[in-house]
Amino acid sequence: MSILDSKIPEGPLADKWTKHKNDINLVNPANKRLIDVIIVGTGLAGGSAAATLAELGYNVKAFCFQDSPRRAHSIAAQGGINAAKNYQGDGDSTYRLFYDTVKGGDYRSREANVYRLAEVSTNIIDQCVAQGVPFAREYGGLLDNRSFGGVLVSRTFYAKGQTGQQLLLGAYAAMNRQIGRGKIKMYTRHEMLDVVVVDGKARGIIARDLVTGEIERHSAHAVVLGTGGYGNAFYLSTYAMGSNVTAAWKAHKRGAFFANPCYTQIHPTCIPVSGDHQSKLTLMSESLRNDGRIWVPKHKKDVEAIRNGSLKPTDLAEEDRDYYLERRYPAFGNLVPRDVASRAAKERCDAGYGVNQTGEAVYLDFASAIERYGKEQAYVKGLNVEDKALITKLGKEVVENKYGNLFQMYEKIVDQNPYETPMMIYPAVHYTMGGLWVDYNLMTTVPGLYAIGEANFSDHGANRLGASALMQGLADGYFVLPYTIGDYLAHDIRTGEIPTDSKEFDAAEEKVRAEIDKLVNNQGTKSVDYFHKKLGKIMWNKCGMARNEKELKEAISEIAALREEFYKDVFVPGEENEYNEELAKAGRVADFLELGELFAKDALERNESAGGHFREEYQTESGEALRVKDYQYVSAWEYKGQPSEAVHHKEPLEYENIEVKERSYK
C-alpha cells in the first residue's frame, strides 16, 4: 500500500467533483477574515487563486519575483485555451476533452483530476469573457475557435497569438480589484527562499526583498505555490529568464514529494539556436500547425544545396519534399501531439536532413495555406481564381490576420520573411509536466502546503496537449483550490494569527541567511551562468528528447560533480543587502543543480517510454514510445539530504473510464 493518499472521492467519475464540493467543509464568511493565505507566484494559477481567495474573504499575501504580477511568464503563452464548450457543434464534450487529455498524456495522469479539469473548463471561458478578456470572435459576434495538436475537434479559444497575455491580464485585473480593496497585500520583487513548517503544517515563508536584500518572515494558515515549472534547468528553453524551481525545491526539502520530475515537454515549433551567445529560445505557437506544413527535403543532395545556399526551399519541387508528419501520421498529420512532432523532427535531423547550418532545423511552410485561403477569398469576393498573384496576395492577408504577430516575431529574430520563405523550426524545452505531488485537493505531502498550475504534476501525465496549460492554471486557481483549501482552513478558524517569532521561523531564517552568506562569500572564479550553461548541456544531451540508461547514469554523476564544483568555485559579485541579480541567479542555479540530478534519477528509474519521456531502449518497431504496464504509476520522490538518496514512492494509476492502449495518431 502506497503511503500516498490521493484522496480521490468515491462514486462515478462524472459525479466526483460535485459530490466532493458538497461534502467538504466550508468556512463561514466572518471566519475567513481571520485566516491568512500566502500565495507565491502570480501567473495564471497564482494570480487567479489570489483574486478568488481574496474575493471569498481570506487575507491574501501574494509574492512574485517580477516587478509586477502582470509579468509572470504565463503572459508568453500564445496559442489558446481549451474548453469543452462545443460551440462548433463538432462533437466535443467534457468526456472527449477528458479522453483527449488522458490519451495525450500517454496514460500517466490521474483520471479524476483530468475529468474535473475538463468539467470546469467551460466556466473558465464564461468567467474570462465576463472579466472583459477580448477573445477572438467571428463576424456574427460569437467566439471563434481553432484546433490544436492531438485532438479532432476545434475547442481552442484564443486571442490572436497572445492568449496567455490576455488571460493573465484578466487575472491581474481581478487581483488589482482585490489589492485596491486591501484584501490582497502584494509583494513584488520578492523571492521565496523557504517554507516554514510549524507542528507539521506549512505556516509561512521566508522571502528576500530583491531590491533591498532584506530577509523577511511572513506567516499564514496555508501556503500556496503557483511558481511554474523547472524547464530552465536546461538553460536554453522558452521559459522566462527568471523562471526557476527554487520555491518548489525548497518545499521539496521541507517534505513535499516531487512527482515525475523527468516528464518534460519539448515543444516542436521553436526558433532554432543561432549560436553560443543564445540566452533563451522563442516559441512559435502550435496554432501555426493548423495551417503550416512541416517538411524536410527527401534527398540528401537537396539538403546540401539548401545548406550551402545554392537552392532555395521554395524552388524545391513538391515530389522532392518529405512531409514526414503527414507521411507517418495520416490521421492527425501536422497536428500530432507535441512529443510525437518533436521526436519526428529529431529523427529527421539526426538522419541528416536538417535544413540549417547546424543541421537542427526543419521547415514549417505556409505556401499551401496561403494558396488555399487566397482561393477561398477570391471565390467569396467573386474575383478571378486563376490569377496567381491575386490569390497569393489575398492568402497572405488571411494568414497575416491569423498569425501576424507570430510572423513578425519570427522575422525580427531570424531576419527572414516567413510569408516568402518557409520558417525554420526545431524543438525546445517548453513545459514540465512533473512537479510537486498533490492529492485531489491540490495539497502536497506537507499539510497546508498547496501546489497549483505547472508547479504540480497531476493533470498532464507524460505529455501536455496544446492549450491545456492555461486551462489547468486557471482551473486550479479560479475553481478548484478555492473549494479545496476551505476544507483544510475550516480547522483553523480558532487558530488566530500565526506568530513569526517561533523557533521554526528562527531556524528557517537562519538557514536562508547561511545559504546566502555562503554564496556571496565564496570568492570563486566562475560566473553563475558558466555553471548554468554546463548544467543545461548535460540536461539537453543526456536527459532531453531521447534518453538511455548509460547516458542517464553519466548525467547523474556529472551533475553531482558540477554541483560540487559550483560550491567550490562560483563567484557572486556584489553584496547581499542590495539589488543583486547574480545572487538571485546563484540561488536558483544551486537548486537546479539538485533538481537536475533527481530528474535524471527519475528518468533512469522509469524503464519505459511515455509521452515526453522517451527511453531509446523502449520503442516500438516504428519508433514510437513503448509504454510498460508495470510503470503505470506516479513516481513521487521524498527528499533525504542528497538527490542520490531520494526515496521513491509510487502512486498506482488506475483507469476505470478509459481503456489504456497504445497511443495512435495514425
Residues numbered 143 to 162 that lie near other proteins (CB under 8 A) are 143, 159-160, 162
Give whichever of 67 and 605 is closer to other proteins, judged by the CB atom: 67
Mutual angle of helices 44-56 and 481-489, in 10-degree steps: 50
Q: Which is nearer to other proteins, 99 or 571 (CB)?
A: 571
Q: Does 134 interact with other proteins (rule: CB under 8 A)?
A: yes
Least separation in angstroms between CB 90 and other proteins: 15
142 binds other proteins (CB under 8 A): yes
Smallest distance, other proteins to C-beta of residue 344, A: 25
Give just the sign of the alpha carbon dihedral 475, 8, 264, 449: positive
Q: Is 124 a binder of other proteins (CB under 8 A)?
A: yes
Q: Which of 12, 29, 275, 382 binds other proteins (CB under 8 A)?
A: 275
DSSP string, 178-195: HHHTTSEEEE-SEEEEEE
Residues 521-540 binding other proteins (CB under 8 A) are 527, 529
Contact status, residue 222 vs residue 442, Cβ threshold 8 Å: no
Which value, to the nearest 10 degrees, does the dihedral of the CA atoms of residues 252, 81, 184, 198 take? -20
- Smallest distance, other proteins to C-beta of residue 393, A: 21
Near other proteins by CB under 8 A: residue from 3, 26, 351, 413: 413
Question: Does 51 interact with other proteins (rule: CB under 8 A)?
Answer: yes
Cell of 303: 539538403
At 543, the amino acid letter reads C
| Dihedral angle of Cα 565, 569, 574, 576, to the nearest 10 degrees | 50
Q: Are strands 81-82 and 633-638 parallel, antiparallel or unpaired?
A: unpaired
Site for other proteins in 444-503 (CB under 8 A): 478-479
With helix as H, strand as E and coil as C, how does 91-153 read? CCCHHHHHHHHHHHCCCCCCHHHHHHHHHHHHHHHHHHHHCCCCCCECCCCCECCECCCCCCC
Which 358-397 residues touch other proteins, going by CB under 8 A?
A: none
Stretch that binds other proteins, among 169-177, 428-436, 631-639, 657-665 (CB under 8 A): 169-177
Q: Supply the minimum distance, in Å, between the C-beta of residue 574 and other proteins.
A: 5
Assess contact for 337 and 104: CB atoms under 8 A: yes
Among 44, 60, 75, 362, binds other proteins (CB under 8 A): 75
According to CB under 8 A, which one of 7, 253, 280, 393 is a site residue for other proteins? 280
Catalytic residue among 116, 254, 338, 663: 338
Active-site residue 155, yes or no? no
Interactions with other proteins, residue window 549-578 (CB under 8 A): 571, 573-574, 578
Confirm or reject binding of residue 28 to other proteins (CB under 8 A).
no
Q: Give the C-alpha separation, 327 to 165, whole Å.
A: 35
Q: Which of 107, 115, 135, 187 binds other proteins (CB under 8 A)?
A: 135
d(CA 407, CA 288): 10
Closest CA to 147 of 61, 88, 228, 62: 88
Site for other proteins in 296-355 (CB under 8 A): none
Whole-angstrom Cα distance, residue 140 to residue 28? 44
Say if CB 196 and CB 508 are below 8 A apart: yes
Nearer to other proteins, 132 or 623 (CB): 132
Residues 6+ apart with CB under 8 A from 252: 258, 436, 637, 639
Q: At its nearest, how many Å lie between other proteins and the CB of residue 405?
A: 8
Minimum CB–partner distance for residue 573 and other proteins (Å): 5
**Residue 179 near other proteins by CB under 8 A:** yes
Minimum gap (Å) between residue 270 Cβ and other proteins: 11
For other proteins, what does the binding mask look like between residues 208 and 247, x meaning CB under 8 A? ---x--------------------------x-xxx-----
User: Hey, which residues are catalytic here?
Assistant: 338
